[in-house]
Every structure is written in structure tokens, then in C-alpha cells.
């Protein structure tokens, strides 16, 4: 099969022929139709310090995908050949304390598809049946199905705290931040402000339904708070950028008792005003991946019940390219001016 391959601990990928995987006990073989390009994939391609410390090579990367089940191993019970599916990329042990308590997203032995085991930038991928998400809604297109993983990140982050009637600040208008705008609007937020430094992404944020889009290279968050007439600050913060300045500005502009969900991964240590966190009684909650599998149920239910949300999340996909043009896809994703980039593996 054709696959993007990292042959060793160095920068770059190659599109090469690799052995076609076969499912073992409890595993499912999927013919990949579409894949999304994630920030994690950009790190692996560049082979930066994070990748060097986290990635097992040689490796086929890729963890955001949609495809069709073509074979099942012994012991597979529910997934059927012909099912259209996406996959939860975190494979868990099932026996640690968190797994046994139903908190599988907190497993201490997580192995990630496309990071520590071969992933989906290929014509076929094999994952455990327990990680397969079967799409029953025919309205889920291959392109939309390919971004269920990052959509799940947006849903997990956005629904960390009650949103009805709340004023929300989202820092970072990348693809996940854009999806979060639609989710918090769907869930009943009152005012939504979004910050970034990219004019094109802020324009996308406006189309997603943000009440105010702030270029923080020109305007401070406090000004957005004033223009939205928020006398006491924002109730909910969703930090999607991983930027120190974004988190500091968020903390500075939260109301007393405000709650912050943190998804963005910082590249360096961040110093913050801990006295304000304490005296303003702020809550900071780290978010990693998706709740397994409550988030998957929530996002499927929201999409099937709301045509408006379905259209909004689909609109985050701004580029669909043949897998044969993967280099152009990675360049587009790395440029960071648009939405989600999807590769079509039927055109290889």
C-alpha cells in the first residue's frame, strides 16, 4: 500500500510502498478514504524536540481519518465489514485505575495512533475495535468524518463548563478554536469573543458566529470586554493557542469565579498571576483529547440534531487535496492562515 512514512529520527516524510497491515485479535482493518492534517503531524514532520521525545520511529503518522471497514480480526463483535468509521486515536490499557473507573481518557499507559504505532496516512490502517466509531448518520461526509478527532477536542473543551447565558472568550482561531465557536453558540452562550493575530482566521471566526473578533497584535482583550459591555469580565475561557500572552490576558479579563479550560499546548513554561487566580477564585482545567466515549456521542448527537451546526463544522474544512499532493497540504496547514486541511486517499 501507499503510505507516508518516517523511516527514522529525522525531519520529513516519504510517500512509499509499505506492507499492508492485517488485523489481529480484536482489531479492525480500515480502508482510509480521508485524513485530516493535525498540528501533531506538523511536529512529527519537522522532528522538533517534542517529536524526538514522544514519537516511536519508523512510523506511519496520521490519526484523524474516515474510512470503510474491510476486514475484522477474531474476537471482533460489533463492528461490521462495510461500516463507515472514524477512530479514537488514544489506545488505552483498560486496567489502570482510571480505565477501570471509566475515565479512559486519563489512562496512564495511553498509546497514540500515528505517534507510537502506525497511523492513517496510508491506504489502510488497523486499530482495536474498541477505538472504532461507526457513523450511523448518512449526512456525515468523508471530509467531515476525517475531522471528528479535532471536533471532539473542541467539544470536550467547550462543554467542560455550563454555557447557557455565559460570556465566552476563546483565544486562538485555529481549526479547533473555530469549531468551538459553533459549539458554544449551539450550547447557549450569550456573547463570544475570539482572539488571534491572523486576519484570515479572524474572518473565519466571524463567519462561525463570534460576536467580536480581536486582533491582539492591535487591540487588547480588555477593549473587547468593554465593547461587549461586560462589566465584570468573561465567565468562561477556552484557551486554544498555547501562547503565554493569551493565557495571561484571559486570566486578567475573567470575572470573579470564572472558569478556564486549557487545550493549547505551550512550547515553553508560562508564568501567570497566581495571586489573581486565588483571590478571584478562578478554575483552570486541563483538557487532553476527548472523553471516551461520551464526547463522541455528544458530537454525533449535536451534528444530527442541528443542520446549522453541521454546516458550521463542515465549513471549517477549507482545503481538500489528493493524498498525492500531501506536501502542498502540509505547507498549507503549516502556513496557519486557513481552516482544516484534508487529504483524499482515493486520489493517490
CA distance 202 to 174: 9
Which pLDDT belongs to residue 132? 98
CA distance 239 to 259: 11
Q: What is the CATH number of domain 2-147+316-344?
A: 3.90.180.10
CA distance 192 to 63: 30
Matching residue, cell 493535525: 38
Segments of the chain assigned to CATH 3.90.180.10: 2-147+316-344
Could you tell me which residues are beta bridge partners of residue 126? 29
- In 3D space, the residue among 166, 158, 157 whose CA is nearest the CA of residue 232 turns out to be 166
42 is written with which cell numbers? Answer: 506538523
Which pLDDT belongs to residue 267? 78
pLDDT tens over the chain, length 348 residues: 999 999 999 999 999 999 999 999 999 999 999 999 999 999 999 999 889 999 989 999 999 999 999 999 999 999 999 999 999 999 999 999 999 999 999 999 999 999 999 999 999 999 999 999 999 999 999 999 999 999 999 999 999 999 999 999 999 999 999 999 999 999 999 999 999 999 999 999 999 999 999 999 999 999 889 999 998 999 999 999 999 999 999 999 999 999 999 999 887 899 999 999 999 999 999 999 999 999 999 999 999 999 999 999 999 999 999 999 999 999 999 998 889 999 999 999
Quote the pTM value.
Answer: 0.94
Matching residue, cell 492513517: 120
Which pLDDT belongs to residue 337? 86
Q: How far is CA 261 from CA 75, 165, 264, 327, in A?
A: 39, 17, 9, 33
Which pLDDT belongs to residue 231? 87
Q: Does CATH number 3.40.605.10 belong to domain 159-286?
A: no
Q: Is the peptide bond before 58 cis (omega within 30 degrees of 0)?
A: yes
Could you tell me which residues are beta bridge partners of residue 321? 343
CA distance 82 to 21: 18
Which pLDDT belongs to residue 338? 87
Q: Could you list the beta-strand ranges (E) of 37-63.
A: none
Segments of the chain assigned to CATH 3.40.50.720: 159-286
User: Residues with catalytic annotation?
Assistant: 40, 43
CA distance 151 to 13: 26
Which pLDDT belongs to residue 142? 98
Q: How far is CA 108 from CA 16, 98, 262, in A?
A: 34, 8, 20
Q: Do 4 and 15 form a contact (C-beta atoms < 8 A)?
A: yes
CA distance 87 to 290: 12
Helix/strand/coil for 150: helix
Helix/strand/coil for 91: strand
According to DSSP, residue 114 is labeled T
CA distance 133 to 141: 14
Could you tell me which residues are beta bridge partners of residue 125? 30
CA distance 250 to 264: 13
Amino acid at each position: 500500500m501507499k503510505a507516508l512514512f518516517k523511516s527514522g529520527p529525522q525531519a520529513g516524510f516519504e510517500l512509499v510502498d509499505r506492507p499492508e497491515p492485517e488485523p489481529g485479535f480484536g482489531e479492525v482493518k480500515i480502508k482510509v478514504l480521508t485524513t485530516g492534517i493535525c498540528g501533531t503531524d506538523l511536529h512529527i514532520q519537522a522532528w522538533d524536540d517534542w517529536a524526538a521525545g514522544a514519537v516511536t520511529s519508523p512510523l506511519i503518522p496520521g490519526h484523524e481519518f474516515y474510512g470503510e471497514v474491510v476486514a475484522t480480526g477474531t474476537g471482533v463483535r460489533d463492528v461490521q465489514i462495510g461500516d463507515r468509521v472514524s477512530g479514537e486515536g488514544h489506545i488505552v490499557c483498560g486496567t489502570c485505575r482510571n480505565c477501570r473507573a471509566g475515565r479512559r481518557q486519563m489512562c496512564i499507559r495511553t498509546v497514540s495512533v500515528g505517534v507510537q504505532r502506525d497511523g492513517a496516512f496510508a491506504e489502510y490502517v488497523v486499530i482495536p475495535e474498541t477505538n472504532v466509531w461507526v457513523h450511523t448518520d448518512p449526512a456525515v461526509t468523508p471530509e467531515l468524518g476525517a475531522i471528528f478527532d479535532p471536533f471532539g477536542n473542541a467539544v470536550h473543551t467547550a462543554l467542560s463548563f455550563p454555557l447557557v447565558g455565559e460570556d465566552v472568550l476563546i483565544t486562538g482561531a485555529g481549526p479547533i478554536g473555530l469549531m468551538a465557536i459553533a459549539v458554544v453558540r449551539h450550547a447557549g452562550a450569550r456573547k463570544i469573543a475570539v482572539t488571534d493575530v491572523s486576519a484570515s482566521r479572524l474572518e473565519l471566526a466571524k463567519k462561525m458566529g463570534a460576536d467580536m473578533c480581536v486582533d491582539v497584535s492591535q487591540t487588547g482583550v480588555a477593549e473587547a470586554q468593554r465593547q461587549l459591555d461586560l462589566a465584570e469580565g468573561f465567565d468562561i475561557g477556552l484557551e486554544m493557542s498555547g501562547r503565554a500572552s493569551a493565557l495571561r490576558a484571559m486570566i486578567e479579563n475573567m470575572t470573579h469565579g470564572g472558569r478556564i479550560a486549557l487545550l493549547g499546548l505551550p512550547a515553553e513554561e508560562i508564568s501567570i498571576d497566581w495571586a489573581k487566580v486565588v483571590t478571584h477564585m478562578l478554575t483552570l482545567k486541563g483538557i487532553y483529547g476527548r472523553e471516551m466515549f461520551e464526547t463522541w456521542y455528544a458530537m454525533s448527537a449535536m451534528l444530527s440534531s442541528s443542520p446549522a451546526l453541521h454546516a458550521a463544522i463542515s465549513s471549517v474544512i477549507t482545503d481538500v487535496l489528493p493524498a498525492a499532493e500531501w506536501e502542498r497540504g502540509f505547507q498549507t496547514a503549516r502556513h496557519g492562515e486557513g481552516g482544516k486541511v484534508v487529504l483524499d486517499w482515493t486520489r493517490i
